[in-house]
Structure 1
């Protein structure tokens, strides 16, 4: 028998026990808590969700005495200082579950909180010692935590970027402005509640940009350097759903369009941890904190640049995607460019408000990042390669 290597196709199940689709979160949450035996809820949400919507008020009413703590101190990219403060708060109120209401920053924070509580790591240095390592062949992120998980989360997503589907957490280190990198044991939510009415309260601009981030995840899965047939099948369906439904989210979105976009995140999430992703997925972790740019906005620009970079190098993959989208004769990057124009999303680094000098300062961190230069279908190994693909990100 041949030896198994991590580059062989493999499927990685991320541990969700329930996914509820097209339901009211306020109606569904109490039943889930009873099913799992949870009695003490710590709720984490963004400041805008807490102050500009009725979501927290409705969830608080359905939770009643089960709600023992709440924080909306998350912040963009979930700074470690906020993670540690919230973890201590959840510990002190003896929470037995975290309920995450929000997008990527909220869920990143909750996963990192789980790691703090499981490892008794309540200061910066102790937490940073738990960053992930790479598998021997560089295709998979592996946890360094060995403690038994003490707490899980239930996720109620308000965006479309798929953070609810991974155990990976990348909060920003306040001191260095670099992303910390954790793979949290049982870090994926135990349950996900997809409520289209809650999604519909998210501002349209944010909904669209996070949808592009989800689309970028799906494209990276479909065009992976080590693909898996099941993951590719799911990704191709997700790409169809995103492309068809994201334009319908502009203005007052229909319930059907919201539901279809949530299905797209579900399909994307079910496969994205099974295969290594390339440049556009990881470069946002540099452009975001160094440029003060939201991940989802950076994803718009880098997704397009990567599609141009792979033109002619990913022909079988792009051919399948073009056919699935009913545009077999157009370059894939042109299809993506047209979508970004329709959605009025950024297409260039200049659109993000970045100068060439500022992007130049990102070169070294990008080259030193453990994933930016790995697992690209068209290799990105040298500074010259990195400059070449970033040059495509200046092109409208």
Structure 2
């Protein structure tokens, strides 16, 4: 028998997923299900100050909420993580409830690591950054302390952070991303509330939806694909491409149905993305984001498109399946993505992000030093010339 590459599937620790629910109404029962009585809430500043949603949650839970913070900076600064972890510890919280997008959920994962490891200063926390597996395809935790606290996630965006144990908060001192794989860092439960997403600006839903789309494409076009993960990714990609434009289309009769389908796309994406290595576009946002002061999701739009061009002809069977799933079998895959981004009014070039050539030049060294940017790319990106070549594709639409 010919040698067959072994496949692995990684279960990421979720115990319950509640889809198409009212999170305010469902959360008390979810907390009771797991025996939680003291919740520390971490939410975005916008959801707290620009809507009445957190007020409704506080009225519903009452004294069960023992602490709350909306001090969550973009990219989850370590200073915010450490402060909130100490607050949750001092409040004797037995669970963290996140209400927000990727920065909020990432912060909660890092808070879990602080509490489990009793690591409440920058140096102690940074010692816990992930290591690579021997074959370089998987991120492994360096923490082996039992989880002292878990997270229940109520996402307000579409980028799939709720599906991984990975947290990448920014180090305030270096402006570099720290990289943690948190034991039991994936939320214990996820509550998908499409009505809550109506509180999120459509432009943010679009950009984070594209980030989720980028995750799904990296899964489907992985250097070491898994058939189950690819099947889920293909379905996710079709849902994203179909339903993201509907979120601001007045002719669509049921906006909640479109939001529900987009949340379903994040579920499909999340179920597979940790099981296969991702390539350039997934990781380069961790350089462009902090160095350029760019939101991850906006950077993902540009890098997703550049990667599709870079891989043209290298992943033709995968691209053919994706074109078929989307219903545009005769159009180049990068052209489909470009059309979607233009329709959504999202950036397609590094120039659209407001970056200069000098700024991008300064990112080359950190990108080459990053443990994952130059690994696991179907079309190799291994040196400065390769990196500059793929980034050149990101300068033009």
User: Is TM-score (shorter-chain normalized) higher than 0.5?
Assistant: yes
Equivalent residue in structure 1 for 2:57, among 47, 56, 59? 59
| CA distances 1:82-123 after superposition (whole Å, capped 9, x unpaired) | 000000000000000000000000000000000000000000
| CA distances 1:128-148 after superposition (whole Å, capped 9, x unpaired) | 000000000000000000111
In the alignment, the residues of structure 2 paired with residue 368 and residue 157 of structure 1 have an alpha-carbon distance, to the nearest angstrom, of 32
Is the 1:101–1:157 Cα contact (8 Å) retained in structure 2?
yes
Is the 1:8–1:226 Cα contact (8 Å) retained in structure 2?
no
Matched residue, 1:124: 122
Seen in structure 2, the aligned counterparts of structure 1 residues 326 and 2 have a Cα distance that, compared at 3 Å, is closer
Matched residue, 2:394: 393
CA deviation after TM superposition for structure 1 residue 9, in Å: 1.2
Matched residue, 2:173: 175
The number of aligned residues is 394
In the alignment, the residues of structure 2 paired with residue 251 and residue 35 of structure 1 have an alpha-carbon distance, to the nearest angstrom, of 38
1:217 equivalent in alignment to 2:242 = no
CA deviation after TM superposition for structure 1 residue 200, in Å: 1.2
| Structure 2: 5+ residue stretches without partners | none
Matched residue, 1:104: 102
In the alignment, the residues of structure 1 paired with residue 288 and residue 144 of structure 2 have an alpha-carbon distance, to the nearest angstrom, of 32
Matched residue, 1:146: 144
Matches within 5 A, 1:71-82: 71-82=69-80
1:351 equivalent in alignment to 2:346 = no
Seen in structure 2, the aligned counterparts of structure 1 residues 88 and 3 have a Cα distance that, compared at 3 Å, is farther
CA deviation after TM superposition for structure 1 residue 8, in Å: 2.5
What's the C-alpha RMSD, in Å, of the aligned pairs?
1.3
Matched residue, 1:21: 19
In the alignment, the residues of structure 1 paired with residue 157 and residue 52 of structure 2 have an alpha-carbon distance, to the nearest angstrom, of 16
| CA distances 1:236-281 after superposition (whole Å, capped 9, x unpaired) | 0000000000000126670100000000000000000000000000
Is the 1:164–1:188 Cα contact (8 Å) retained in structure 2?
yes
In the alignment, the residues of structure 2 paired with residue 59 and residue 377 of structure 1 have an alpha-carbon distance, to the nearest angstrom, of 46
Matched residue, 2:185: 187
Matched residue, 1:33: 31
In the alignment, the residues of structure 1 paired with residue 306 and residue 7 of structure 2 have an alpha-carbon distance, to the nearest angstrom, of 27
In the alignment, the residues of structure 2 paired with residue 154 and residue 3 of structure 1 have an alpha-carbon distance, to the nearest angstrom, of 42
Matched residue, 2:293: 292
CA deviation after TM superposition for structure 1 residue 3, in Å: 11
Matched residue, 2:281: 280
